[in-house]
Structure 1
């Protein structure tokens, strides 16, 4: 089944816009046990860094792997380690902390970016896919000056005026809830409901500018 043109325009392959794309069943990436991440979070106050092993070659990590910048030319894919965790086609990077339960909150500062995605993805999500285009990832995205929620390659518009410099993500694993949060008002902007059945990671897609992550935060108490 062909991807809706609107959705296809929002996905980029190595810096180039894709206008037509076919969906086929992707095989989940198989990660040897010794290469899997070692820490697992089931409580609160999730603390993570970005994992270079998963980062596409156009993404450059900095600030002790808490931030990522998109570089159009990037690195020659043949010059980065060829490991199964790495995204080869899409500008995606995962956090390095497993999530198998609990409520977790983190924030992201957006700098000079007009196209990005923030959310979570299953540990064994296919590295041939982009976050939001399959049943293994749930994200909030910004592109063409508009916000949207996305999973299974279906986009739902999010009524958010403008582009905040800092945005919050709240995950309630057991409740099957992922929320986009207003960090100033401490209110939910939009929710994605799902049934999480396996290990998740924080997930990020970036096609220009920079993202700076802030983890280890307390969940907001409520509206100010």
Structure 2
């Protein structure tokens, strides 16, 4: 009579392992690469299309023919995986870059625009050693975040939130309220140096510490040079 019980116990343990694996997978964010066909000609992808490097136009192009999906005026590249639900966390290693933007954008945003300039993208910007949120060419300062080496982004689709995470302290330092109306993708822009993405990460680490700062936008003066904005 002990054999059926032992077999049942074994099956329960196996089932628990499967459930645990499924739960762990549910906590993981999207796994993505950068979509080369969207990259502006000044951007070069590397490390299996997980990193992006800025180069002078014509010197380090992506060697792709011009197409409708490629950004034409701004140094922008989008990821290849869209989000329509759930919570997702990824990180970005910053290498020798003093001017970049990271966030999410509508999959069909205009390729003549830049992330942060239109109202269909939501980004955090770093320039002149300062962080800001940026939406529809308006920005608000982000406090408590210094010179970046690695930063995290936590996307909560149903809650309509995008959070900037200080990886060194495992703390959310700013929350940007969004207005998603359809699929969005991770989005990146830079004007020097390199960015290296790390996706497929568990979002639980980004929520160990959290504070709820306000995010009230202020007017941003019009950028005179779209290829090198502040």
Q: What is the TM-score normalised by the length of structure 2?
A: 0.75
- Work out whether residues 90 and 152 of structure 2, in 8 Å CA contact, stay in contact via their aligned partners in 1: yes
**Structure 1 89/114 Cα, relative in aligned 2: closer, same or farther at 3 Å?**
same
Q: 1:66 corresponds to which residue?
A: 50
Which has the larger share of helix?
2
**Quick one: which of 22, 31, 46 aligns to 2:30?**
46
Please report the RMSD computed on the Cα atoms of aligned residues, expressed in angstroms: 2.0
Aligned-pair CA distance for 1:183 = 1.1
Q: How far off its partner does 1:72 sit?
A: 2.0
Are positions 1:173 and 2:157 aligned together?
Answer: yes
Unaligned runs of 5+ in 2: 1-25, 211-230
Q: Kindly provide the CA deviation profile for residues 26-80 of structure 1, in whole angstroms up to 9, marking residues without a partner as x.
A: xxxxxxxxxxxxxxxx984210000100000000000000001000234587963
Larger CA deviation: 74-83 vs 56-65: 74-83
C-alpha distance in 1 between matches for 2:101 and 2:160: 19
- Once residues 66 and 95 of structure 1 are traced to their aligned partners in structure 2, the CA distance between those partners, rounded to angstroms, is 9
Aligned to 2:208: 222
For 2:106, the equivalent position in structure 1 comes to: 122
Separation in 2 of the partners of 1:170 and 1:103?
Answer: 7
Aligned pairs (5 A) from 1:73-84: 73-75=57-59, 80-84=64-68
> How many residue pairs get matched?
183
Alignment of 1:1-224 (within 5 A): 44-75=28-59, 80-219=64-203, 220=205, 221-223=207-209
* Rounded Cα–Cα distance in structure 2 between residues aligned with 1:214 and 1:76: 23
CA distance in 1, matches of 2:144, 2:61: 36
CA contact (8 A) 1:56 1:89 kept: yes
For normalisation by structure 1, the TM-score amounts to 0.77
Q: Please tell me whether Structure 1 or Structure 2 has the larger radius of gyration of its CA atoms.
A: 2
SS of equivalent residue, structure 2 residue 200: coil
Q: 1:182: Cα distance to partner?
A: 1.1
1:165-212 Cα offsets, whole Å, 9 max, x none, are: 000000000000000001122211111102211010100001000000
Counterpart-to-counterpart distance in 2, 1:199 and 1:65: 21
Alpha-carbon distance in structure 2 between the residues aligned to 1:138 and 1:122? 9
